[in-house]
Amino acid sequence: MRGWLRSHYHVRFEYPLPNRRRLDAALWSITEADCPPQGKMDIALEWEWDNTKVARDYLSGDFRKLLDVDAQCGLAIVQTRADGRRGSMQADETVRQLQDLYGKHRRDSRSVALIEIRRVFHQNERVDFVCYFQDLCTSTMQETDGWSYP
């Protein structure tokens, strides 16, 4: 991901914010002039790969940064699980809470998107994932690619 981001955007990882907080990445479009980024960032990016942290901490911490920083739009990338004994209950609840938080703390007209990478099957011989893209502004969701690791 790091290489792809750098080939398409000016990127500042661990972008400093007030109160000793950091944004996972701040992105500015690459222009023909290829000047160093200035002013409002184009995309504020926050991610979390640990599904337990997503359900517990991401909602009240990192996700809120996407709504607070000076950015054109925000992108949240999270991993959830639907392969355990609880099925999709925790994953569905996490997504619902992100939608609710977006509605409650939205300050301006910026769009915020959610990419959910959901683990749907896990055994020793393989792990399956499905990816969902959700526009939190319009509450539309689209299933994108799925993949497996043998």
pLDDT by 10s per residue, the chain, length 150: 888 898 889 999 999 999 999 999 999 988 766 676 777 899 999 999 887 777 778 877 899 999 999 999 999 999 998 877 778 888 898 899 999 999 998 888 899 999 999 999 988 899 999 999 999 998 899 999 899 988
Measured CA to CA, the distance from residue 133 to residue 11 in angstroms comes to 22
Pair 42, 75: CB distance under 8 Å: no
Asked if residue 15 belongs to a domain, the reply is: no
Question: Domain range holding 94?
Answer: 45-149
The closest alpha carbon to 55, from 121, 118, 110, 122, belongs to: 118
C-alpha 89/C-alpha 55 separation (Å) is 11
**Number of domains making up the chain:** 1
Residue 24 located in a structural domain: no
